[in-house]
Amino acid sequence: MDPVLSFDQVSKSYGGAPAVRELSFSVAPGTVCGFLGPNGAGKSTSLRMIAGIHAPDAGTIRLLGAPPNHKTLKRIGFLPEERGLYKKMRADAAIAYFGALKGLSGADARKRARELLEAGGLGAHRRKLVKTLSKGMAQKVQILAAIAHDPEFVILDEPFSGLDPVNQKSFEEIVRDLRARGRTVLFSTHVMEHAERLCDSIVLIAKGRKVFEGGVEEALALAPRSALVETDAGFDLAGILTTRNFSLRGAILSVAEQNLQRAEIVLETDSDSRRLLAALVEAQAPLRLFEPRKPHLHDVFVRLVGENATPAG
């Protein structure tokens, strides 16, 4: 099955400063793809090129089987990083307006707005003016406006920014529902927890270049595992680690008032956890805590972005 979106050696500069450099990736239909990277990595520029707001300087973009054009863009939903609603419109009217812009009839747009607001927990607020809504509610209305026409492909630029934890969870359910109905979602974020919970695949960029593309589990395999160990302060933990060829992540932390020392120890393989525990038991270590820690996308992010943090150009 052809990808919903593909970039092939896409580059974009502004005033001679590269924002995106030779970027290639694809998004499979019916999946949620996280477009990840630090601030200034080129995420928003890439999404604006997909939406036809900017044209690439080099390379090709294919969206729903063709270059971005009027027909393909009507089949996508786009939430830009810059939020904006007509503040004197009612919430339901704002959503219906965006639905009508994408081709829905007036009656269908109003019906769709009511359905989305009810499903999103905002049914009681549908007749309120946007300017009277809380920041989180207003942002949720804009997210619903982006999917008012039930698009095949949804592009979300930092959708969780400004949402409180309750609304973040609610929006994650919207993303899951889109996937369950066969829609494709691409969202940018620099908050790894959302990507780890929601994504089938991720694309990680730094300084405008791709540094990783693949599944979440594939990405997690790139980050070393570790174990958190606490012992009484007087125990020679450093000596045991040295003789058994274990490496520290950081330094051993001493907490004098609790008479303990704490260390995070790098585990190169899954079996290293058992080998480390066996070594500590054999040395009769006064253990207070032994906690193997699985890697998270944050660890992958730090590792890969750190390795590719040289300035573009």
Range 225-294 classified under CATH 3.30.70.260:
yes
pTM: 0.82
* pLDDT value for 312: 37
Domain ranges (residues) in the chain: 5-220, 225-294
User: Of all residues in the chain, what percent carry a pLDDT higher than 90?
Assistant: 64
Strand 58-63 relative to strand 225-232: parallel, antiparallel, unpaired?
unpaired
pLDDT at 310: 43
pLDDT of residue 307: 60
Q: In terms of CATH architecture, what is 5-220?
A: 3-Layer(aba) Sandwich (3.40)
Distance in angstroms (rounded) separating the CA atoms of residues 82 and 157 = 9
The secondary structure of the chain, three-state, reads CCCCEEEEEEEEEECCEEEEEEEEEEECCCCEEEEECCCCCCHHHHHHHHCCCCCCCEEEEEECCECCCHHHHCCEEEECCCCCCCCCCEHHHHHHHHHHHCCCCHHHHHHHHHHHHHHCCCHHHCCCEHHHCCHHHHHHHHHHHHCCCCCCEEEEECCCCCCCHHHHHHHHHHHHHHHHCCCEEEEEECCHHHHHHHCCEEEEEECCEEEEEEEHHHHHCCCCEEEEEEEECCCCHHHHHHHCCCEECCCCEEEHHHCEEEEEEEECCCHHHHHHHHHHHHCCCCEEEEEEECCCHHHHHHHHHHHCCCCCC
pLDDT recorded at residue 313: 31
Contact 202, 219 (CB under 8 A): yes
pLDDT digits (tens, 9 = 90+) for 145-157: 999 999 999 999 9
One-letter amino acid at 137 equals M
Give residue 211's pLDDT: 94
Kindly report the backbone phi and psi dihedral angles of residue 175, in degrees, each rounded to the nearest multiple of 5, phi listed first: -65, -45
pLDDT at 40: 87
Given this model, what pLDDT does residue 84 score? 76
Report residue 156: phi and psi, to 5°. -125, 120
Residue position matching structure tokens 């694309």? 203
Question: Which tens digit of pLDDT belongs to each residue from 73-112?
Answer: 999 999 987 777 889 999 999 999 999 998 899 999 999 9
Beta bridge pairs of residue 64: none
pLDDT in the model for residue 311? 37
pLDDT tens across 223-245, in order? 878 899 999 999 999 999 999 99
Tell me how far apart the alpha carbons of residues 51 and 261 are, in angstroms, rounded to a whole number. 53
State which residues of the chain have pLDDT below 70: 307-313
Residue with tokens 């008479």: 259
